[in-house]
Amino acid sequence: MKKNGNSRSLMSMYSDNKGIRKRKTSKEDLPPMTTYEQRFKGGSMTKDVTEDKIKTLNDKIEARKKLSEPVNQLQPKRVSVEIAGSRYLLGSNEEMSEQRIKRIASKVNTILSNAKDNNPGLTNSKVTTLALIDACDELISLMDENSNLKTELMYYTQKVKEEEKSVPLEPTPMELLARESEDEKR
């Protein structure tokens, strides 16, 4: 197959290139895709994270105290509870008592049981969703009631303060004597 010599001349005739080769652009020649702008005042915060802090004598003493503390305090409390027919091992490393964990599990079990009894044909995931909706509804109702009670409490405390200001105070015996002496002088 022979190349047509005419095609090269046609390309050059209609091309904008005119035989000049484009120089290859390097990465340095290209404009940056993004720019970084510091939006907070102050120095870089990375130094605080990456540099090792020099330990003082007090830091070393505190570290030894932490090592000598009993390990039992750091371990979470674990309680086995039953929710919707399944056993769960719940844990808390906060100051939550076992009785509180059991009360929470009992409340969850009650809400789930009510949702399951009211909707027997639904799958467990849908029943759980309905139970969560019920729990949130109850929470919002209690939050509204709490807000109303706080407003009522503020109203009554303000009313008591106003009544205390409006009630004339009975004069003390010294004030009575002072008034009597003023009356005698007149």
Give the mean pLDDT per block of 10 residues along the chain (186 residues). Answer: 54 57 66 60 52 73 71 68 88 80 91 90 91 93 95 94 82 85 84
What is the per-residue pLDDT for 153?
95
What is the per-residue pLDDT for 6?
54
Question: Taking the C-alpha atoms of 133, 138, 139 and 145 in order, what is their torsion angle to the nearest 10 degrees?
Answer: 150
What is the per-residue pLDDT for 13?
58
Q: What is d(CA 8, CA 124) in angstroms, rounded to the nearest whole number?
A: 74
What is the model's pTM?
0.46
Q: What is d(CA 84, CA 79) in angstroms, rounded to the nearest whole number?
A: 16
What is the per-residue pLDDT for 150?
95
User: Can you name the residues that pair with 118 across neighbouring β-strands?
Assistant: none
Per-domain boundaries in the chain: 72-164
Per the structure block, which two tokens stand in for 33? 């895709």
